[in-house]
Amino acid sequence: MLTQMLVAEKSAIRQGRLEHRSADHILGQIGNTPLLRLRKLAPVNPRVEVYAKAEWFNPGGSIKDRPALRIIEEAEQAGVLTPDKIIIDATSGNTGIGYALVGAAKGYQVTLVMPGNVTVERKRLARAYGAHIIESDPLEGADGAIRLVRELVARDPERYFYADQYNNPANWRAHYETTGPEIWAQTQGRITHFVAGLGTTGTFTGVGRFLKEMNPNITLVGIQPADELQVIEGLKHLKTSIVPGIWDPALPDQIVEVDTEDVWRMARRLAREEGWFVGLSAGAAILASLQVAAQLDEGLIVTVLPDSGAKYVSLGIWDDE
């Protein structure tokens, strides 16, 4: 039976249906990222450890490669994404770059609706993979991009496959089936707390559900900006935003709120003291993890570093001494 299954899978790889499982394919490099231990900025208490998934090791440079691949391949399998359709979605950058990468590898056209004020690096990276970018009102942020993409799809529904990362369950399933099991294996099941930012909420939902199934005593901590005026790339203030359809408000055990200035400061410290050149949501992740650590007598905290700082250089964060 096992031999028959392996033969069938190899046949599927040759036909392109499971091409990402091939070790020599670019899409086969998505996932299995390293787990790094926080050292110089670690909690004073040696019985509390903080680890982080280095998601910039994904080929598109962020954790969003995982759901981008899953969303596209589930759509292929369901027959709703065909070669004549354009992949379209609202994005602040990373998921869009993931779509563009997967689209280029698989031969699909990709159109991204981005707020006009996203960093120039993210726009250029998406265009490098061949994506077409439509800019939405910068003052309306991610929610404005969502509204605009819905209008475009409503005008010409046959032209597009609307990936809809905020409401597509393939988003959280990508993390339930990859990120969560990786964290469990890498910590040998010793994890006591999982801390993650809330944007699309896919990472938190997928990893959280998996970890709770493995050990219901694991504490799940979500991160969001302190209020609607705090702008932290990749995070949403859920009380004042369009709430993602995949969000499960019953899942978090705790919510930590962070301020923009503290996040920027932490991003600088991580680069200069740990050698981790990470983005702003990663700075928020470590900041929140250390706040959780300060409340513990012992424990093993795992968080996620969604991307590197390369997409944010133009903001001048690391120029401030």
Distance, in Å, from the CA atom of 18 to the CA atom of 12, rounded to the nearest integer, reads 6
- Dihedral pair phi/psi, residue 301, rounded to 5°: -100, 135
Indicate whether 186 pLDDT > 50.
yes
Query: What mean pLDDT comes out for the span 248-258?
Result: 97
Token readout for 217 is 């005593």
Sign of CA dihedral 182, 184, 186, 191: positive
Confidence of residue 20 (pLDDT cuts 50, 70, 90): low
Q: Looking at the DSSP assignment, which residues form a beta bridge with residue 223?
A: 197, 256
Q: Express each pLDDT in 21-72 by its tens digit.
A: 677 899 999 999 999 999 999 999 999 999 999 999 999 999 999 999 999 9
Distance, in Å, from the CA atom of 246 to the CA atom of 15, rounded to the nearest integer, reads 32
Q: According to the model, what pLDDT value does residue 234 have?
A: 81
Query: What mean pLDDT comes out for the span 294-316?
Result: 96
Distance, in Å, from the CA atom of 231 to the CA atom of 193, rounded to the nearest integer, reads 26
Q: What is the DSSP string of 22-68?
A: STTSGGGGSS---EEEP-TT--SSTTEEEEEEEGGGSTTSBTTHHHH
Say if residues 30 and 65 touch (Cβ distance below 8 Å): yes
* Order of strands across the sheet that contains 86-90: 132-136, 110-115, 86-90, 160-162
Sign of CA dihedral 72, 75, 76, 80: negative
Distance, in Å, from the CA atom of 175 to the CA atom of 170, rounded to the nearest integer, reads 9
More confident residue, 19 or 133: 133
Q: According to the model, what pLDDT value does residue 7 have?
A: 43
Q: What is the DSSP string of 136-174?
A: EPGGGHHHHHHHHHHHHHHH-TTTEEE--TTT-HHHHHH
Distance, in Å, from the CA atom of 130 to the CA atom of 103, rounded to the nearest integer, reads 9
Q: What is the DSSP string of 213-250?
A: HH-TT-EEEEEEESSTT---TT---GGGSPPPTT--TT
Q: According to the model, what pLDDT value does residue 245 have?
A: 96
Q: Express each pLDDT in 68-126 by its tens digit.
A: 999 999 999 999 999 999 999 999 899 999 999 999 999 999 999 999 999 999 999 99
CATH code given to domain 65-162: 3.40.50.1100
Distance, in Å, from the CA atom of 200 to the CA atom of 164, rounded to the nearest integer, reads 10
Q: Express each pLDDT in 199-240 by its tens digit.
A: 999 999 999 999 999 999 999 999 999 888 787 788 889 988
Say if residues 206 and 169 touch (Cβ distance below 8 Å): no
> What percent of the chain lies above the pLDDT cut of 70?
93
Distance, in Å, from the CA atom of 65 to the CA atom of 30, rounded to the nearest integer, reads 7
- Tokens 């409401």 belong to 167
Q: According to the model, what pLDDT value does residue 3 have?
A: 42
Q: 10 Å Cβ neighbour count for 99?
A: 31
Q: Express each pLDDT in 258-271 by its tens digit.
A: 999 999 999 999 99
> What percent of the chain lies above the pLDDT cut of 90?
83
Say if residues 26 and 106 touch (Cβ distance below 8 Å): no
Question: So where are the chain's domains?
Answer: 7-61+174-319, 65-162
Same fold, 7-61+174-319 and 65-162: yes
Q: According to the model, what pLDDT value does residue 21 have?
A: 64
Architecture of domain 7-61+174-319: 3-Layer(aba) Sandwich (3.40)
CA of residue 146 relative to chain centroid, distance: 17
Token readout for 308 is 């590197």
> Annotated catalytic sites, by residue?
64, 281
Q: According to the model, what pLDDT value does residue 92 have?
A: 87
Q: Looking at the DSSP assignment, which residues form a beta bridge with residue 113?
A: 90, 134
- As a whole number of Å, the CA-based R_g of the chain is 19
Token readout for 189 is 């099941």
- Would strands 110-115 and 219-225 be described as parallel, antiparallel, or unpaired? unpaired
* Order of strands across the sheet that contains 35-37: 35-37, 48-54, 299-305, 193-197, 219-225, 254-258
Helices and strands (H and E) in the chain: how many: 10, 10
